[in-house]
Chain A
Amino acid sequence: MKFKTFFWFVAPSVFMMLLFIAAPLISVFIQSFQITQPVMQQIEVETCTPGFLTQTCVTEVKTVPVINEETGRTETTTAWVGFQSYQNVLQMDKFWSAIGSGNWGEILQIDFWKALRFTLMFTLVTLPLVIGVGLMIALAVNNAAKSLRGPVIFVSLLPFIITPVIGSLSIYWLFVGDGILTATLERWTGQDIAMFAQAWTIELLMYFYRVWHVAPFAFVIFYAGLQTVNMDTLESAIIDGASRFERLRYVIVPHLMPLIIFIALIHLMDCYRVFDEIIGFRSQAHVISLQWLTFDFLTPDDAGNRAISRAAASAMLTMVGIVILLILPLRRTWRDHKGGAH
């Protein structure tokens, strides 16, 4: 295919990505070093209240935003502030003082570090669980009678396809207050249980939700991979006296290795932007994630202001994280490409 033809085929798609992905990235990068504030002015206001004989008048200096005469909006100024927004998000002074005093726990009181801790832990804890559970379901389905496989795949796809916010809500309703599962647990243990009163139980439910939501995806891919396992290799392994577990360990898992890497990569990307769980479980008071932090800065506060520059700084920091996570897999792809047929 000639370059010109190729160009016209991909042009609309590349244009969309440049305009709506690359350009916003540059915009966020610039905003994170700027701060936009309403212009304030100080005016003297004399307020008089009726009094006996004479009025009582008080003169005070008030700070009010300047309103543009023509448009009726408040005027704003934009100033370069360097790394100040980053500093506001990272709060390095508190960070170092926490380390200096040896109270490591205090670091987790700062929103950003709290969110980072949860996001990384969430990603790393769910990854092996998703791969393990997915592989187990795939093996079990492969074992089951042919007529059962269709219905099982149908049921398994439901948690995967459900809207993430709704999925986490459906689990939230099972455990909230006197939800059915909390009530059952209370009956078994004889204790009063509140799943949403402390951080660690919420986190457990979030891990559970994520595995429930993503394991079907891993299952379907592993199941497709299991159909192409080389039967000859498997039979020769049996002749060599390999036990069932050894066959799984030395024949099937190596065969599925490319798929495991694929799932791990996709899971890494998706888990790092964990967000919908925070909304569904309403956990913002206890557990927050990096993407939720940016979302929170972007949501208007009670006065209707959005902390755009702080959101930009936290967005840039989030992006740095995903780039670090992706460097290794991307280098591998690049080596494969170099070593490939091209």
Chain B
Amino acid sequence: MSKATAQPLSLKLASGAFLAFWCLIAAFPIAWIAVMSVKSPRDAFDASAWNVITGPATRAAGNGLSFLDILLGLIVLYFAIRWAFTKLSRLVEQFSPPGFIVLGWLVGAAVYGLLFVLIFFGALPVIFGALNSIAGPLGTPILGLTTEHYVAVWAENQFYRNFINSMIVTAGVVTVSLTVGTLAGYGLARSGSNLAFWLLIIALVFRALPHSVLVAGYLPWFINSAEILRPILGDLSPTLYGQPWAIIAVLVAINQPFTIWMLRSFFQNIPSELDEAARVDGCSHFQAFRRVIMPVMWPGVITTGLFSFLLGYNDFLVTALLLDAQNQTMVPAIAGYFNRETTTTDQVEAVAAAVSITAPLFLLVMVFQRQIVSGLTAGAVKG
């Protein structure tokens, strides 16, 4: 950088301070609810920040970490994370069959997550308990910490059911909307016709529609669908209201405008000479798509898939109105906590549920940060 563009110290300091301030604001609410969720209700809603962090009431109730626990825990955590980023990726690449690397990662991540939970919450407390009893002053608890709210949420309130429903809905949304959207995005990217332009504009208008408008259209049909469909399907006709797969169809459709815009801009980046060469060699359009484009489209598809995942995972409005209580996904289920949130214990359980919903998203940003950034900019820079 030349001398003329060098910045005075005051400007550098101001810019650095602003950045630090922004990072604090960005992370604070999320970090704070994570801290609250592991304290006893009295500590979690204490007026003093120091008490919330150290948790004296939690410690007094016998749930605490000693200096030794914290030190050893951090060491184990460090090696667990390092192992995930070095050995795990090698193992996944070694054992997954060629072409199924994504599937391999999914299985690998699930197994890793399970092992992590078993070691951290199953094995370590037992070992640490034994160590603490012989460690003397280093073994006395100094930091209050309890997992009772998570146990209450996941085991007693059966939050895992909502988790499974969320996973079914999001997996369905991602697969179907990518399958349908990839074809359309490719078609739109390779066709310069007026029709393609109008389709994109209509998709843009559809993207702007408030979801409640659409749900107002679905509800009467979904509730009465068994009677409406009876003449066609006979006694097999389903009531669509409360069915996860009906929600998947709805969310896929709502997501379609965004998906085709994004995938179109990714496909425009793939040079069209590539499929033209395949066509010259005698492929039809579909063959060219399958043999030439499919192997190179995955970065764009993964990025778009991330955003479809977010839409399915984060949705409140559609799932709250179209699913009944047994099939509820996680985000609307947390609304159930508001309604009976009478004691502070209920409130902290709601906090624990909220943190449970956020944790997968946190992992998602950690693993896919680059794809998310490229996805955000792809739509904007290409227009």
Contacts and interface: CB of A to CB of B under 8 A. Distances in A.
Interface stretch (A49-57, A121-129, A169-177): A169-177
A17 B321 contact: no
Given A152-B19, A166-B331, A333-B201, A21 B214 contact: yes
A141 interface: yes
A188 interface: no
A330 interface: yes
A158 interface: yes
Given A12-B180, A12-B183, A161-B361, A262 B215 contact: no
A27 interface: yes
B212 A315 contact: yes
Contact of B199 (A14, A144, A152, A326): A14
A179 B347 CA distance: 12
Interface in A205-250: 212, 216-217, 220-221, 224-225, 234-235, 238, 244
Q: Interface on chain B toward A: helix, strand, loop, or mixed SS?
A: helix
Interface size class of A (residues with CB under 8 A): 35 or more
Contacts of B197: 337, 342
B365 A157 contact: yes
Given A177-B45, A272-B210, A295-B212, A21 B377 contact: no
A290 interface: yes
A47 B36 CA distance: 59
A164 B215 contact: no
A36 B224 CA distance: 13
A130 to B, nearest CB: 13
Interface string B207-234: 1111111111111110000000000000
Contacts of B373: 153, 157, 220, 224
Interface string A238-279: 100000100000000000001100110000010011011001
Given A221-B376, A291-B210, A319-B210, A298 B216 contact: yes
B143 interface: no
Contacts of B376: 217, 220-221, 224
A279 B350 CA distance: 14
Contacts, number: 297
Interface in A294-322: 294-295, 297-299, 306, 308, 311-312, 315-316, 318-319, 322
A21 B321 contact: no
Interface in B18-43: 18-19, 22-23, 25-27, 29-30, 32-33, 36
Given A17-B256, A224-B380, A322 B314 contact: no
A162 interface: yes
Contact of A224 (B184, B205, B331, B381): B381
Interface stretch (A2-10, A86-94, A190-198): A2-10
Contacts of A179: 45
Contacts of A330: 201, 204-205
10 closest cross-chain pairs (CB), A and B: A24-B217, A9-B187, A20-B253, A13-B184, A183-B47, A294-B212, A273-B210, A224-B377, A170-B29, A315-B213
Interface of A: 1, 3, 5-6, 8-10, 12-14, 16-17, 19-21, 23-28, 31, 36, 136-137, 139-141, 143-144, 148, 150, 152-159, 161-167, 169-171, 173-174, 177-180, 183-184, 212, 216-217, 220-221, 224-225, 234-235, 238, 244, 258-259, 262-263, 269, 272-273, 275-276, 279, 282, 290-291, 294-295, 297-299, 306, 308, 311-312, 315-316, 318-319, 322-323, 325-326, 330, 333-334, 337, 342
21 contacts: A13-B180, A16-B252, A24-B216, A27-B220, A158-B365, A163-B331, A165-B316, A166-B357, A173-B351, A178-B47, A183-B47, A184-B49, A217-B376, A225-B381, A234-B5, A263-B380, A294-B212, A295-B320, A298-B321, A319-B210, A330-B201
Interface of B: 2, 4-5, 7, 11-12, 15-16, 18-19, 22-23, 25-27, 29-30, 32-33, 36, 45, 47-49, 52, 179-181, 183-184, 186-188, 190-197, 199, 201-221, 249-250, 252-254, 256-257, 260, 285-286, 310, 313-314, 316-317, 320-321, 331, 334-335, 338, 347, 350-351, 354, 357-358, 361-362, 364-366, 369, 372-373, 376-377, 379-381, 383
